[in-house]
Every structure is written in C-alpha cells, then in structure tokens.
Amino acid sequence: MVSTCEAGGTVDEGAAMATMKPPSPPDAWDRESQTGPSLHERSASGSSEPKDARILLVEDSWHVGNAIKRLLRALGADVAGPAATIADAERLVAERTPDVAIVDINLRDGERSDTLIDRLQQQQIPVVVITGYTAVSLLPGKVEAILQKPVSVEKFLAVLSPIVARQKNK
C-alpha cells in the first residue's frame, strides 16, 4: 500500500489499507489556490516552476481539473486535458508525449486509473497522483508522489517542480 506523500517526504509502505475518505468538494482546489502568495509573487521568487513543461492532466471533476489547468497554464505549462477517462488520456498521450502526468485514481463512471499509470510508467512518464482518498493501493515505485485533495498550491508545486526540472535535464 502507498499512503499520502508529503512534499519532501517519502512514500509509506504498509500491510493494511487505511479507511478511505470520500472525495473533497469539487471546488476545494479553487479555495486552496486562492491562499498564499500570488502567481506573480511566486514567479518573482525564482522558484523552479513548470514553465514550458508538457503536462497530461487526468481528472474527472470538471471544477478541479480546470482549476489545475488554469494554475499550470498561468505558470507557463503546456497542459493536455483534463481527461476524464483512460481512453481520453491515452488519446492525448498518443498526440503528444507529456513530460509528467497528474492523475486522479478514480475517474468517470467508476473507472480506476491503475492501467493508465502502468502504461505511463512503461513509457517513462513520471506520474503524480492527486486523490481525495487518504490511502491508495499502488505498488511502491509506480508514482512519484501521492497528494491528497485538497492540496495547497505551494505543496503541489513543491512536488511537481523538481520532477519537471529532472525531465528537462534528460
């Protein structure tokens, strides 16, 4: 089992799965993104951001997906998605290989993204999972990080930025 990963922390492996928490309200990302320094202030700080990164976004919640997309585009990323199904995500990957994928575990109509994550890993595309559940059953090493919704912009960028920087340096 893999549990929620804190920025800068490690992925925890355990024998038993914790009780799942229902997904957060759809506008939780919007509330989180309105706190802390503005996008301009973060850009001026010199922090590594996903500028020019190709990012695949797989999220079935329209509100959450569009909030993430707006944030990433404001930071200069090229965002494909949000895709609400595995088929939509695979079509986007076939059109243009992303540098990194941001993936929700539970997608539209009860579809789970495990097979998509496996395919992305086979293509050496790093995956960051964002989920509304406290624990997610994935094999160790499948994803770069697991973030629990709602996640702050600062925490999200603290996890995403080093992955993007590593991919650009390949």
Q: Average the pLDDT over 140-163 and give the result.
A: 93
The pLDDT value given to residue 48: 59
- 12 found inside a domain: no
Provide the whole-model pTM. Answer: 0.73
- 13 found inside a domain: no
- 57 found inside a domain: yes
Domain extent at residue 140: 2-7+21-35+51-168
Mean of pLDDT over the chain: 78
pLDDT, tens only, 57-108: 999 999 999 999 999 999 999 999 999 999 999 999 999 999 999 999 999 9
| DSSP per-residue codes, 81-150 | EEESSHHHHHHHHHHS--SEEEE-SB-GGG-BSHHHHHHHHHTT--EEEEESSSEE---TTS-SEEEESS
Among 64, 67, 107, residue whose Cα is nearest residue 88? 107
If one compares 51 and 18, the residue with the highest pLDDT of the two is 51
Token pair listed for 36: 């802390």
Q: Average the pLDDT over 146-165 and give the result.
A: 94
pLDDT over 70, % of the chain: 72
Token pair listed for 152: 């702050």
Question: Which CATH number is 162's domain given?
Answer: 3.40.50.2300
Q: At what angle do helices 86-95 and 114-122 cross, to 10 degrees?
A: 20
- 83 found inside a domain: yes
- 31 found inside a domain: yes
Does residue 41 surpass a pLDDT of 90?
no
Q: What is the tally of structural domains in the chain?
A: 1
pLDDT, tens only, 50-63: 899 999 999 999 99
